[in-house]
């Protein structure tokens, strides 16, 4: 995707830096989800609420972070498209780390009353703004630094940060949940949030050494950046933004697997309920599976002639596997739960590996950060944030897991249809330029020709005696 191919060393450096940075950002974001499922209902809300209501309210505060994510996409997309990807990624990392650290220090409802959930929601909003600007920049740092024809493959570096961060968050709570319950609820969970400050330092050291992608360096040299990227993106690419958002619900099933499923499967009102550490162990195994199989999605999409066919065969199994996962968990059999969750993980993780690169190809460089951030965060606001709360409401209202299972399968249907439409509009051969990139090259050639035409008389005058 770069105007000129960077060296393999620079591309790998950008990919690794993208991976490490997103791992840290997603760790901070996912520990909130784990804490929402396990402790926030007890810590930040009254004890006299009906069963499940405290958990539902904690999921609502989690949703606040998703509602704020489009704002992060707009703000950081604006600065990322005008001033470069690197600077914005440094700011998002600091903002996320500071918000997470303060959550670890926040007093509970028993200490400061209603101020506790209010402040918790505010800090979640800051997390949402940070991750809203993080994802797009990380994908672009990797994909724009990639050798020609390998942008989708390199964008998968950024995508690997999600399962790694989720695995770190799950692992942290797996060990912390081994504490006696009173100690875990009193202070044990806070350790996961306070420890994030150490990860932020590591991430900053790596990100400050990054180089800006060449395509962005050249745009700034030519003063080819857009004054207000969000206006340009909506004015000329609004259809692609909306279709891109529609392509992403399948990515959000992770919140069914990790956040909702953890609260549901460890609810002691079930005779088949799992222990907290036991179920977090199941989730961790599924995340290991995701980490291993996810890159193959990007490899397949990079090598096939027609990405539409690859997307179809990657996504279709999820129609069946996601509903089966819930019924496997409900058996109370640990091995069946592991098998069901691991199998359901494969399709959406392979899809996730490639969708970032597909979206990046859909927009020209001058609004690319804003465009892909808006697509991703609009879906996050409407689908991801609502998913745990919606699933909890469905289950509480019907006392059966069937509606939740159907919800998971429906995400796959919507994503498949919208991704196929997106590829039809933007181009489906990974090794070739997308329609947006072709148009950008034509525009650049016309501008260069115009500059040469305007300069020609001056050169002629200079040659006269």
Is pLDDT above 80 for 409?
yes
pLDDT band at 380 (very low <50, low <70, confident <90, very high): confident
| Residue that wins the pLDDT comparison between 26 and 422 | 422
Tens digit of pLDDT for each residue in 436-455? 878 877 776 666 676 677 77
Angle between helices 85-103 and 53-83 (to 10 degrees): 160
Is pLDDT above 80 for 312?
yes
pTM, rounded to two decimals: 0.81
Sign of CA dihedral 420, 320, 245, 291: negative
pLDDT band at 188 (very low <50, low <70, confident <90, very high): very high
pLDDT band at 4 (very low <50, low <70, confident <90, very high): very low
Is pLDDT above 50 for 391?
yes
- Average pLDDT of span 344-348: 95
Is pLDDT above 50 for 3?
no
> How many residues are present in the chain?
465
Number of other CB atoms surrounding residue 166 within 10 Å: 27
Predicted confidence at residue 310, as pLDDT, reads 94
Burial (CB < 10 A; 0-12, 13-18, 19+), residue 214, is middle
**Separation of alpha carbons 260 and 165, rounded Å:** 18
Predicted confidence at residue 447, as pLDDT, reads 64
Predicted confidence at residue 22, as pLDDT, reads 87
Is pLDDT above 50 for 465?
no
Tens digit of pLDDT for each residue in 35-86? 888 889 889 988 887 767 888 888 888 888 888 888 888 888 888 887 778 8
Is pLDDT above 70 for 464?
no
Predicted confidence at residue 101, as pLDDT, reads 94
Answer yes or no: are the C-beta atoms of 152 and 354 closer than 8 Å.
yes
Is pLDDT above 60 for 211?
yes
pLDDT band at 218 (very low <50, low <70, confident <90, very high): low
- Average pLDDT of span 145-172: 85
pLDDT band at 224 (very low <50, low <70, confident <90, very high): low
Answer yes or no: are the C-beta atoms of 89 and 148 closer than 8 Å.
no
Predicted confidence at residue 463, as pLDDT, reads 47
With b for 16 or more beta-carbon neighbours within 10 A and e for fewer, the 67-101 pattern comes to bbbbbbbbbbbbbbbbebbbbbbbbbbebbbbbbb
- Average pLDDT of span 107-130: 92
**Separation of alpha carbons 374 and 364, rounded Å:** 14
> Which of the given ranges, 68-72, 209-213, 232-236, 248-252, has the highest pLDDT on average?
248-252
56-70, 120-134, 146-160, 443-457: which has the minimum mean pLDDT?
Answer: 443-457
| Residue that wins the pLDDT comparison between 444 and 292 | 292
Predicted confidence at residue 6, as pLDDT, reads 47
Answer yes or no: are the C-beta atoms of 66 and 381 closer than 8 Å.
yes
Predicted confidence at residue 265, as pLDDT, reads 93
| Residue that wins the pLDDT comparison between 335 and 276 | 335
Q: Of all residues in the chain, what percent carry a pLDDT higher than 70? A: 91
What rounded mean pLDDT belongs to the chain? 86
> Which of the given ranges, 26-40, 93-107, 256-270, has the highest pLDDT on average?
93-107
């Amino acid at each position: 995707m770069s105007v000129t191919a960077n060296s393999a060393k620079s591309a790998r450096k950008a990919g690794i830096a993208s991976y490490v940075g997103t791992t840290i950002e997603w760790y901070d974001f996912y520990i909130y989800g784990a804490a929402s499922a396990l402790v926030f209902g007890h810590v930040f809300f009254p004890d006299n609420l009906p069963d499940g209501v405290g958990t539902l309210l904690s999921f609502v505060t989690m949703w606040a972070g998703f509602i704020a994510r489009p704002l992060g996409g707009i703000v950081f997309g604006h600065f990322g498209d005008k001033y470069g990807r690197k600077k914005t990624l440094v700011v998002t990392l600091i903002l996320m780390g500071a918000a997470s650290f303060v959550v670890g220090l926040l007093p509970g409802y028993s200490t400061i009353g209603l101020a506790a959930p209010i402040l918790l929601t505010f800090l979640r909003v800051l997390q949402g703004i940070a991750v809203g600007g993080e994802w797009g920049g990380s994908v672009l740092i990797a994909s724009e630094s990639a050798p020609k024809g390998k942008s989708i493959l390199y964008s998968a570096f950024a995508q690997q940060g999600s399962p790694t961060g989720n695995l770190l968050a799950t692992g942290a709570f797996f060990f912390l949940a081994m504490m006696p319950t009173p100690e875990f609820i009193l202070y044990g969970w806070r350790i996961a949030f306070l420890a994030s400050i150490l990860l932020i330092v590591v991430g900053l050291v790596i990100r400050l050494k990054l180089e800006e992608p060449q395509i962005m360096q050249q745009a700034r040299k030519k003063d080819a950046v857009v004054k207000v990227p969000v206006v340009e993106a909506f004015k000329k690419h609004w259809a692609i933004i909306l279709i891109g958002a529609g392509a992403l619900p399948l990515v959000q099933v992770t919140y069914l697997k990790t956040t909702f499923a953890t609260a549901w499967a460890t609810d002691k009102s079930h005779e088949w309920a799992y222990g907290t550490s036991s179920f977090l162990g199941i989730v961790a195994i599924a995340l290991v599976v995701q980490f291993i199989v996810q890159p193959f999605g990007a490899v397949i999409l990079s090598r096939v002639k027609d990405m539409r066919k690859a997307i179809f065969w990657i996504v279709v199994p999820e129609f069946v596997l996601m509903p089966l996962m819930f019924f496997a968990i409900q058996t109370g059999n640990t091995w069946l739960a592991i098998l069901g969750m691991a199998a359901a993980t494969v399709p959406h993780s392979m899809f996730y590996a490639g969708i970032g690169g597909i979206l990046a190809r859909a927009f020209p460089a001058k609004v690319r950060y804003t465009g892909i951030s808006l697509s991703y965060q609009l879906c996050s606001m409407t689908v991801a944030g609502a998913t745990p709360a919606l699933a909890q409401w469905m289950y509480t209202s019907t006392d059966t897991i069937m509606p939740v299972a159907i919800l998971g399968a429906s995400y796959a249907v919507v994503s498949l249809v919208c991704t196929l439409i997106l590829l039809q509009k933007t181009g489906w051969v990974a090794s070739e330029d997308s329609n947006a990139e072709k148009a950008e090259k034509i525009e650049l050639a016309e501008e260069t020709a115009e500059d040469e035409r305007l300069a020609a008389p001056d050169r002629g005058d200079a040659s006269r005696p």
